[in-house]
Structure 1
Amino acid sequence: MSEIGYQTGGSVRSWAGLTAEINETNRELQWPQSLNVFDRMRREDPQVKSVIRAVTLPIMRTEWAIDGTGCREEVTRLVAEDLGLPIKGQAPVAPLRTKGRFSWKEHLRLALLELVYGHSFFEQVYDQSTGRTRLSKLAWRPPRTIREIKVARDGGLEGIHQYDVEQLIPVSALVAYVNEREGANWIGESLLRSAYKMWLLKDRVLRIQALTAERNGLGLPTYTSAPPAEGAEYEQIIAWADAEIARGLDIAKNARAGEASGASLPNGASLKFLGVEGDLPDTDKPIRYYDEQIARAVLAHFLNLGTETGSWALGSTFANFFTDSLNAVAQHIADVTQQHVIEDLVDKNWGPTEPAPRLVAAEIGERQPVTAASLAQLIQSGAVRPDDKLEDFARDRFGLPIADVSTRRAAPVTPAAKEAA
């Protein structure tokens, strides 16, 4: 019943080995050159930056919580405190201090860099000074610092080596977020990989567009000399023509616009700014097309609506596909964190038989808005019965203060209740 086949021949000990695992044929996108390419794409191109923000910001903005259903209160509270997240269904409790504490938002921001580079590794660091094993931090290990990825024969991760660090960071101390991993490919695939060709072509067209504007935008100064004097000898005409050409070239090169600008020309000479005859190449159309394809690579079609293709009336249709992809990414982040952070934390404190709470993210996209009117209708219809958790949720949703039982007043008697009495 043991495993017979394999996914890799052994440890991936070099960038050449990594290249063989991911089957990347483009030299520009082979490690470690790909890091520079993806950094350039996200820092220099506004459309690429918009695409990345469109994917990452909704995931960071959505509500993350710890669901303790079926778990002991002590276990759920420890996990929630260490991750700095609220417990689902309970009023959020702010920590006494935030300085030096683990930040889920910062961790999530760095974890989502797997979409840029293909992977993002973290090392688990714990604190046992309080008698319990508490999560101190998840230390990010940037892709540029990794020199070796050790992979088992079955494709499982064994650990990573960093430059200037001899000790292996074992998989038991790692949290590995890898985008679209296949087999033993622990580098993953960048979200920008399919947009690379469009970005490269767009960059070239932009350079041509800038060069076209520079060469032809203001016209070319052209000097026409006056005719030579009548009756002059041939040698004199040749010498005069050479001097006139040199003087005209100097006038054309120094032609400027300004308050004190001007040119002095002899009778019969002229200085003109000549533009390009005919139409210049239309570079705007291919640039718009490349932007559209870059957005299409992540299903973000709506980034181009109203400008290049379609209208905003199609936004809801396109947004549904996009939000589905965002929910899939959020679920992937939650699954990895559940397996390699939360369950590891529970195992270290209570053992592998203790039920572990789950990390859940609120669904991204269209949901029924929570309003006072909708809550009232649900309660009046009997679909929802009020309780303390519902009150805590409503107070948090509408920005109201947390309920204080010691100062709570009796509910006012409504006219309907008086008539019933």
Structure 2
Amino acid sequence: MARRARARRRQRDTARALSGGGAPTAELGFGGPSATSWWGSVEESTPELQWPSSVTTYARMRRTDTQVSSVLRAVKMPIQRVNWRIAPNGARPEVVQQIAEDLGLPIDGAEPAPAARVRDRFSWADYVRLSLLSLDFGHMAFEQVCRVDERGRIRLRKLAPRMPGTIREWDIAPDGGLRSIVQNPPVGLKMPAGAKPMEAARIPVERLVVHVNEREGGDWLGNSLLRPAYKFWVLKDRMLRVGAQTVERNGMGVPIYTGAPRENDLSTGLAIARSVRAGDSSGAALRNGADLKLKGVEGDLPDAEKWVRYYDEQMARTALLHFLNLGTQTGSWALGSTFAEFFTMSLQATADAFQAVTNAHVIEDLVDWNWGSDEIAPLLVCDEIGARHPATAEAIKTLTDAGVVLPDRDLEEFARQLHGLPPKGNYSAPARPAPAPGGQNPTAAALRALAAQLETEETAS
């Protein structure tokens, strides 16, 4: 009786707390960027950077500017090259094995397995590369596509990319959560005769994996890494055009035509001046007394290179890539290690964000579909970016001498491959000659006898 009374009291206290007198269970405020707009950020004042025009603008920036392309590659390549693996995290071996097979990743602490087939299967490398487009555009969405194997297990077939330029609507809940996205149908796709035209597709959040860079509240458009560099990209583009026009216009001088005496109509001379071009066969014919000169610039021309360099430096700073500017009149190479540390920290933060989304919306979904929400899920982990050291011969020797690494056949093959040496074959070293009587090596004895003979001949001569 006492146990039932305590249970009733707990139920009564819980109901009282949920009714408003205790722990809150519902949101009263809003998580979106604005109370009137749930599909786009109202904080962006530049028309070219307001969604969806921002997608086209960022695409132009990353395709047409060398500095922007270098910044993006410097940020993405270390994350793409880092070693990703599946950590058991206390999950059952069956669960860990299936997740590792679906993602094509090794299991942390397990023996390396043979490489799996890749055709018509999920590609981890493509998934990482495409997900990092969230740095370019602020967001990148994928649609989950699965298959059922012969055992009835749900397996990941692919994460189909839904490119930022194809999304026309974001359906955001009042609390800032994503409900769905609407994707435009393909443009220019030829349909079979009599087929119904393709319509826009609404994809619910249950089938989505969305990577958002620096999401704030309900702003699922994210913040592009290129947004702070836009101003400098525009000014740099204009400065490059001015520099090209300066060279083209003033490279050989400005043609000046002086008319002949009593030449009142200068239209012919103006046409000659405008048609002057540099070349092997260029020339002009003038009337008697007329003159044509190529007049140079008086004064100094604007130094476009200085401003272009400054704009490149500012664009590199948007990704903490200060060390890219070292050696270009901006500092000493001695600062490179300090700048590189901050840059590495930013890369690790980006990798951690990618890791969190994949764990929550890829791995945990696969575990829920197959074993239920109470099953422990393994985790996606990676090496610390920048923590690996080159396996030089000196490093291998130091670790071997310290007893940290034991020399074996695998280490020998690795060292041979590292230094471009041929693989170890079945070659056996020739047997050493037997020592001469008295413990002397016959080869050494012969060499000493020859040396004594040469010394005797030299003394006699």
After TM superposition, the score normalised by the length of structure 1 is 0.82
Of 87, 93, 99 in structure 2, the residue corresponding to residue 67 of structure 1 is 87
The one-character-per-residue Cα deviations of 1:161-205 (angstroms, maximum 9, x if unpaired) are 223556642222111101101111111111111111111222222
2:144 counterpart SS class: strand
Structure 1 22/353 Cα, relative in aligned 2: closer, same or farther at 3 Å? farther
Look up the match of 1:88. 108
Q: How far 1:397 sits from its partner (Å)?
A: 8.9
Of structures 1 and 2, the larger Rg is shown by 2
Shift of 1:96: 4.6
Distance 2:378 2:119 in 1: 25
Please provide the CA RMSD for this pair. Answer: 2.9
Q: Given the superposition, is the C-alpha separation of residues 107 and 11 from structure 1 closer, same or farther in structure 2, using an over 3 Å criterion?
A: farther
Read off the aligned partner of 1:93 and give its amino acid letter.
A
Are 2:296 and 1:262 equivalent residues in the alignment?
no
2-structure distance, mates of 1:377, 1:204: 55
2:39 alignment partner, SS class: helix
Indicate how the Cα distance of structure 1 residues 4 and 266 shifts in structure 2: closer, same or farther if over 3 A, else same. Answer: closer
Superposition pairs for residues 90-129 of structure 1, below 5 Å? 90-129=110-149
Instruction: Identify the residue that residue 49 of structure 1 maps to in structure 2.
Output: 69
Residue equivalent to 1:5: 28
1:87-139: CA deviation from partner (whole Å, max 9, x where unpaired)? 22334333452211111110111100001111111111111132211000001
User: What does the per-residue CA deviation read over 1:41-99, in whole Å, with 9 as the maximum and x for residues that have no partner?
Assistant: 11111111111111111111111111224232222221111111122233433345221
1:272 and 2:293 are equivalent in the alignment:
yes
Task: Tell me which residue corresponds to 2:365.
Answer: 344
**Aligned residue number for residue 199 of structure 1:** 233
Matched residue, 2:253: 219
Partner of 1:334: 355
Q: 2: CA distance between counterparts of 1:133 and 1:217?
A: 68
Give the 3-state SS of the residue equivalent to 1:242 in structure 2. Answer: coil
**Structure 1 stretches of 5 or more lacking a match?**
229-239, 401-408, 410-421
Opposite residue 280 of structure 1, the aligned amino acid is: L
Give unpaired runs (5+ residues) of structure 2.
Answer: 1-22, 186-198, 419-425, 427-461
TM-score norm. by structure 2 comes to: 0.75
Amino acid at match of 2:338: T
After superposing the two structures, state which structure 1 stretch, 106-115 or 84-93, moved more: 84-93
Counterpart in 1 of 2:158? 137
Paired residue type of 2:337:
S
**How many aligned positions are there?**
382
In structure 2, which of residues 204, 210, 217 is the aligned counterpart of residue 170 of structure 1?
204
Structure number with higher relative contact order (C-alpha < 8 Å, ≥ 6 residues apart): 1
The answer to whether the Cα contact below 8 Å between 1:91 and 1:393 also exists between their aligned partners in 2 is no
SS at 2:263 equivalent: helix
What is the distance in 2 between the residues matched to 1:174 and 1:202?
38
Please give the residue correspondences for 1:222-301 in structure 2 after superposition, counting only pairs within 5 Å: 222-226=256-260, 228=261, 240-243=262-265, 245-265=266-286, 268-301=289-322
The percent identity for this pair of structures is 53
2:60 matches 1:40: yes
- What is the CA–CA distance in structure 1 between the aligned matches of 2:325 and 2:114, rounded to whole Å? 41
Measured in 2, the distance between the counterparts of 1:162 and 1:139 equals 13
Distance 1:30 1:186 in 2: 13
Structure 1 residues 27 and 93: CA distance shift in structure 2, 3 A: same
Q: CA, structure 1 residues 393+71, in 2 after alignment: closer, same or farther (shift >3 Å)?
A: farther
1:246-290, Cα deviation, whole Å (9 max, x unpaired): 443343234344444333445544321101100011222221111
In the TM superposition, residue 375 of structure 1 has moved relative to its aligned partner by 5.5
Q: Distance in 1 between matches of 2:411 and 2:30?
A: 48
